[in-house]
Chains A and B, each alone.
Chain A
Amino acid sequence: MPSGELIAYAVLTAVGVYATVNGVSYRLVEPSGAVGPGMMPAASGVVIVGLSLILMVRVLRSSGAGRGVTAEELAAASEDDVIDPPREHRAWVVIGLMVVTALLMNVLGLLPALGILVVVVVGFVERRSWTRAVAVGLITVVVLYLVFDQLLGVPLPTGLLGGVI
């Protein structure tokens, strides 16, 4: 299993190639001689490909396929004292929750969706008591509502319930 670094550089190389190819198709130079819309995409694409390849070669040379850094090593390297053992999957759970929240925004409304996010994170991911979770969620929603909707008049999507919130 190639290291995360290697994958990252491979992805970037692909991105760079894509950028360069498209950049050329967007015209590098205008008929008038001015720099065209494709110049910057192509130029940055070339730089990305070049540097990614160099870095990939470095990684391959230094430690075979490389191992990548594990969460434990990062924790050890961090200067703070950690009281929890590293639980990397927590990050993924939170990412998943944020995606779900964003999807819910158009259904339930932006603030309710955020409220649910808070409740689930505090209650489920962080394993605090559910009463606390709901309390924090409610307070957050109320404060955000007062500041953004009432004070600043930002139009927050209200989802399918519309018209009330």
Chain B
Amino acid sequence: MWDNLSLGFSTALTPENLLLCFIGVLAGTIIGLLPGLGATTGVAVLLPLTFTLDPVSALIMLAGIYYGAQYGGTITSVLISTPGEPNSIMTTLDGYQMARRGRAGPALAIAAVGSFFAAIVSLILLALVAPPLAQIALKFGPPEQLALVVLGFVIISTVSGDSQIKGLLMTACGVLLATVGIDSATGTTRFTFGQLDLLSGISLIAVVVGLFALGEVLAQLSIGEAKPIRTRLREMLLSKEDLRRSRAPIMRGTGVGFAFGALPGGGSTLASFIAYGLEKRVSPNRAEFGKGAIEGVAAPESANNAAANANFIPTLVLGIPGGATTAVLLGAFTLYGITPGPLLFEQQPTLVWGLLASFFIGNVILLVLNLPMAPVFAQLLRLPYGYLYPLILCSSLLGAFAEENAIFDVWVAIAFGIVGYFIFRVGLPVAPLVIGMVLGALFEKTLVQTSSMGSGSFGILLDRPIALGILAVAALLLVVPAVLARRRRLRVAHTSLVSSESKKDTHV
């Protein structure tokens, strides 16, 4: 173990590799910052530049882009309610609200701290237990994934604001939106109205940018221009209180993120959703969520970093991509003449351990870059809204375009901006719509797979203890709070009945 680590660090700490690591994480931060441009595209675009480099060095840089983007996506989420990456969507809920209250600095700072913690912990776990974890992850087939999505729905159901019914309605709308396009299982085109651009479905980024960024701008315009946010120096930095409140969410977020990221195909987006939902359920400050609770930033931000790193487990151990960006990195392996697969650790120890060591170094660099920059970035909000929001409009429309070079997506973003505006005016919650889109797609996929595996019945689930276990937890989460709440109501009613009785007595 120590040999491997020393091999790794000696590889990663060469001047060339350090420089490439720095370039990678910086590029990653910028790419993550820009809405519409994801880590996946960034890595693929910069891939040809690396052909002249030594494979280890090239991968160090490309990997830096990947986890660097996890830090960058937060910045626009917090400052202008525009998620730079899909896994920063949850951060906009509370992060942007914190910014509106002049607390953008602490929001960004806690995101950096949480991300760093999650990254280091997940890397340590990666280094120690990657191979056995990969084997366990293999046990998660479609039935288990279906169970996880169901659990996800249950956990997320608390993120519907005040009304469960409205939240559920929006979720169902999101699920419906996700069905647009060619169904990959059967080739059936659904709801495409003959439009070529809809055949691959509605772009998630365009929807998110439209709902969160454009919708927010339109909402702000209609209710009148808010005073520019004045922040005092004290409020720009993290307070002890912030850190105290964030400790547990960061740890829980890391756990959730790591668990979901380690599954092949497990996404950091899903992990961030679950982490947020879980935090809202267990946090003593849950009433503040959605209005600027720092836990609502700490949890998903830690989760997305942990998941991004955990994605490397199936990638490096089995040669199976953990997600879209790791799929590109695996492609890069092939281009460099390295065969990814179960023998990678044996055949290429320098590469693997050098890469892992560079992750540590890269995250340190990112923390050093992001933490002091947090209050600086927050200054951006001092700009009068009249100048700020046209910039938001531009970056949103351009971002929607840039995801897949489609002007059609610009229209989608505008359309969802209008939808978001109406949703705001009518008082329906916005977040469940996006959650429905993401979870709905996964739900359908795993549902179809499970039913195919079971030849039309779901009896197969009875044979899969892990899936049953997860479903049981979901059922408990659904039932227990309802039962407890009912008992509490009864007890309160009983108590007030008793006390009013006794009051009556005293009046006699």
C-alpha spacing A102/B387, complex, angstroms: 20
> Contact partner of A91 among B221, B387, B414, CB < 8 A?
B221
Q: Known contacts being A37-B188, A94-B217, is A82 close to B224, with CB within 8 Å?
A: yes
A40 vs chain B, min Cβ distance (A): 5
Q: Chain A: which residue is nearest B176 at the CB level? A: A44
With known contacts A26-B190, A83-B227, A12–B390 Cβ distance under 8 A: no
Bound-state CA distance A15–B391 (Å) is 34
Indicate which residue in A12, A83, A101 contacts B169 across the interface (CB closer than 8 Å).
Answer: A12
By secondary structure, the B interface counts as helix
| CB <8 Å contact, B222 and A74 | yes
Q: Which of A41-79 contact B (CB under 8 A)?
A: 41, 44-45, 47-48, 51-52, 54-55, 68-69, 71, 74-75, 78
Judge whether A154 and B402 touch: CB under 8 Å: yes
* A44 and B173 contacting across the interface, CB-CB below 8 Å: yes
A130 within 8 A of B: no
Q: How many A-B residue pairs have CB under 8 A?
A: 206
Of residues 24 to 49 in B, which have CB atoms within 8 Å of A's CB atoms? 30-31, 34, 37, 42, 45
| Proximity string of chain A (105-147) to chain B, C-beta cutoff 8 Å, 1 when within and 0 when not | 1100010001001100110001010000000100010001001
**Looking across the interface, which residue of chain B has its beta carbon closest to that of A141?**
B394
Highest count of chain B CB atoms <10 Å: which of A26, A27, A91: A91
B401 interface residue per 8 A CB criterion: yes
A153→B223 CA distance, assembly (Å) = 39
B: number of interface residues (CB 8 Å)? 69
Compute how far the CA of A98 lies from the CA of B225 in the bound complex, rounded to whole angstroms. 19
Decide: A81 near B188, CB < 8 A? Known: A54-B165, A118-B391.
no
Pick the contact of A19 from B176, B397, B414, B421 — CB < 8 Å? B176
Task: Check B425–A4 contact: CB distance below 8 A.
Answer: yes
Chain B residues, Cβ within 8 Å of A165 = none
- Given B178, B218, B387, which contacts A95 in the complex, CB threshold below 8 Å? B218
Tell me whether A117 and B456 are in contact in the complex, defined as CB-CB below 8 angstroms, given that A82-B224, A86-B222 are known contacts. no
Q: Is the CB of B390 within 8 A of A122?
A: yes
State how many angstroms separate the Cβ of B34 from the closest Cβ of chain A: 7
> Within the complex, which residue of A90, A101, A154 is in contact with B222, where a contact is CB–CB below 8 Å?
A90
* Interface of chain B residues 217 through 241 with chain A (CB within 8 A): 217-219, 221-227
At the interface with chain A, which of B104-112, B302-310, B338-346, B445-453?
B445-453
Q: Which A residues lie within 8 Å of B455 (CB)?
A: 32-34
* A interface residues (Cβ-Cβ under 8 A, vs B): 4-5, 8, 12, 15, 19, 22, 26-27, 29-30, 32-37, 39-41, 44-45, 47-48, 51-52, 54-55, 68-69, 71, 74-75, 78, 80-88, 90-91, 94-95, 98-99, 101-102, 105-106, 110, 114, 117-118, 121-122, 126, 128, 136, 140, 144, 147-148, 152-157
Which 10 residue pairs of A and B lie closest in terms of their CB atoms, listed nearest first? A33-B456, A82-B224, A126-B386, A47-B172, A84-B225, A34-B452, A80-B226, A51-B169, A75-B223, A37-B183
Could you list 7 further interchain pairs (A-B, Cβ under 8 angstroms) beyond the known A34-B451, A36-B186, A40-B443? A26-B188, A26-B190, A33-B456, A98-B414, A102-B414, A154-B402, A156-B401
Give residues in B with beta carbon < 8 Å to A.
30-31, 34, 37, 42, 45, 100, 165-166, 168-169, 172-173, 175-176, 178-179, 183, 185-186, 188, 190-191, 214, 217-219, 221-227, 386-387, 389-391, 393-395, 397-398, 401-402, 405, 407, 410-411, 414, 417-418, 421-422, 425-428, 440, 443-444, 447-448, 451-452, 455-457
